[in-house]
Structures are given as structure tokens and as C-alpha cells.
Amino acid sequence: MHKKLAQALVMLLGATALHAAASPTAASTAQSNVHVMPAIAMDTLQRERTYRIYLPTDYQDSDKSYPVLYMHDGQNLFDDATSYVGEWGVDESLNLLAQTCGLEVIVVGIDHGDKLRMTELNPYDNERFGKGEGNAYVDFLVKELKPRIDREYRTLADREHTAIMGSSMGGLISNHAINRYPDIFGMAGIFSPSYWIAPGVLTASANNPQLDNTRVYLLTGAREGDEMTEGFMEMEKILKSRGKQHLWQAKLDGEGNHSETFWRREFPIAINWLFGASCQQ
């Protein structure tokens, strides 16, 4: 077990180091409807943070209100110039889905905190990484950032139209968010969640009655390691025990690994399912 855990640590820490770096030479690939916002105060954490807004292509020319997806690791979502390991292509995917089948969503991407990422996205204290700040981070999303977004943009602010999504530590904190604020987030995309670092998230999920009424897209790659697969299977068991299989998907991809390439491929499938769209994949 110690050997497997060490391997998982190496994998995750390697990915984290790459997350924190940005290519100094890559040209920006962000689409014109992505906007980088000035850093705002995170009162719950006593620091500041930049966030990025993706607006549907017809936002400026309509009076419609839109569902909102909150995502972590904002530097990696839209732009090769800010993601050393390649971007998720969230803006390109959503522009295409809007054009082909009318799926329109506002996305709020919160930048990660570089060296603080391992504590900000962990709700529990960890001997190796330090005191968990995940509660304060999710409180910032719900009590500070979401009210700002709902005030400044035309949003559908109810839980049925509010989703959260992330990968690795971002997958972990997305799961924690639907446990801590089940009345706020009605949907979650939980990609490659690092349950091994905070198994308490699984325990909380098993005791979260609102999970019965939350749409969950759970994804892990079979090539991510034993701890990752074991965590996936435990969460799948929890979802199965809740019944209502039409409200959740659990996918263990035989070719998937711990990478933006994997998550980029799966993003349009997950977003299509979470928001109940009928886009052809």
C-alpha cells in the first residue's frame, strides 16, 4: 500500500507542478468570449484570486439568462498560454455545442493558487501537505463569488442550473462542494478525484441525503493507478446505493490517464449529460 501511495503522490505532485507553470512562448488560444477578470478578494482565505468568465456566443445580443458551471484550475481551461500541459478546450467545445445543438452555459473558472493548490482544494488536514482549506475555498465560491456572478451576469441562479466541475484535486473539491452545499450545487462533474488524499469526502458522500437529487458525472481513467481506481469504485458504490440511476453516470475509461488530454476529450460528453442536452457526440 505504501508503494502504491508513493506512486500516486509522485503522479499527483507532478501534475500539480505542471499546473502551476505557464508556457512563456505559447500563443493564446482563448476564444474571444473568454474574459480574464481582475483579481478579487477571497475573504474566507485572506488572499486574492483571478477568475475567468466564458460567456455564450450570443450573450451580448440576447436577454436570456443562462445556467452556470463553476470550474477549478482556471488557467488550464481555456488557454494554452496559461497551461503548460495543454488546455481543456472548454471554450471551443461550448462554442461548438452552442452552434450545433443550442447548449449554452456560462463558465466561471477560478484560477488555482499555485503552491496553495494542495491545501485550498482539500477539505481535510494532511500531514504531508498541511492544513486543509477546502471548506474556506468552497465558502468563497458560495458566499462571495457566486453572489457576484449572479449580480453581474444574467444567470439562472437556482441549484437546478448551477454545476461544479474539476479534475484531480479539483474533482475532490467538487465532490466536497455538493456535500457541503447540496442546496447550491445541483450538478457535479467529478473527474479523476483524488479520494486517496481525503477519504473523508467519500464518507460525507455516503451520508449526504441530497446526493439522491444531484446529477453526478464521475470519471476516472484505468491508467491512473490503483488508489484512483479504488476511490472511483467506492464512490460508484455510494451512487448505486442511492438508486435513481438516471441521475448519475460513473465511467472508468480503460485508456484514460491523469492528463488534460483525457479530461478535454470527456468534457463535452459530461457537460452534455449534466445539463440534459441532446447533442450528438
Is the pLDDT at 217 greater than 90? The verdict is: yes
Q: Minimum mean pLDDT among 11-15, 63-67, 210-214: which range?
A: 11-15
Average pLDDT of span 62-66? 97
Q: 281: pLDDT confidence band, cut at 50, 70 and 90?
A: low
Q: What is this structure's pTM?
A: 0.91
Taking only the tens place, the pLDDT of each residue in 164-177 is 999 999 999 999 99
Give me the DSSP letters along the chain: -HHHHHHHHHHHHHHHHHHH---SSPPP---TTEEEEEEEEETTTTEEEEEEEE--TTGGG----B-EEEES-GGGTS-GGG-TT----HHHHHHHHHHHH----EEEEEPP-GGGHHHHT-SS-BTTTBS--HHHHHHIIIIIIHHHHHHHS-B--SGGGEEEEEETHHHHHHHHHHHH-TTT--EEEEES--GGG-THHHHHHHT-GGGGG-EEEEEEEGGG-HHHHHHHHHHHHHHHHH--GGGEEEEEETT--SSHHHHHHHHHHHHHHHTT-----
Taking only the tens place, the pLDDT of each residue in 177-213 is 999 999 999 999 999 999 999 999 999 999 999 999 9
**Beta partners for 187?**
163, 215
- Any idea where the domains of the chain sit in the sequence? 2-274
Q: Is residue 152 classed exposed, middle or buried when 0-12, 13-18 and 19+ CB atoms within 10 A define those classes?
A: exposed
Taking only the tens place, the pLDDT of each residue in 107-151 is 999 999 999 999 999 999 999 999 999 999 999 999 999 999 999
Q: 243: pLDDT confidence band, cut at 50, 70 and 90?
A: confident
Q: 244: pLDDT confidence band, cut at 50, 70 and 90?
A: confident
- The answer to whether residues 138 and 204 touch, using CB atoms and an 8 Å cutoff, is no
**Backbone phi, psi, residue 5, to 5°:** -65, -40
Q: Minimum mean pLDDT among 40-49, 86-95, 270-279: which range?
A: 270-279
Q: 41: pLDDT confidence band, cut at 50, 70 and 90?
A: very high
Average pLDDT of span 220-246? 95
Is the pLDDT at 18 greater than 70? The verdict is: no
Give me the DSSP letters along 190-240: EES--GGG-THHHHHHHT-GGGGG-EEEEEEEGGG-HHHHHHHHHHHHHHH
Give the type of residue at 181. Answer: Y
Cα separation, 167 vs 191, in Å, equals 4
Which class in CATH covers the domain with range 2-274?
A: alpha beta
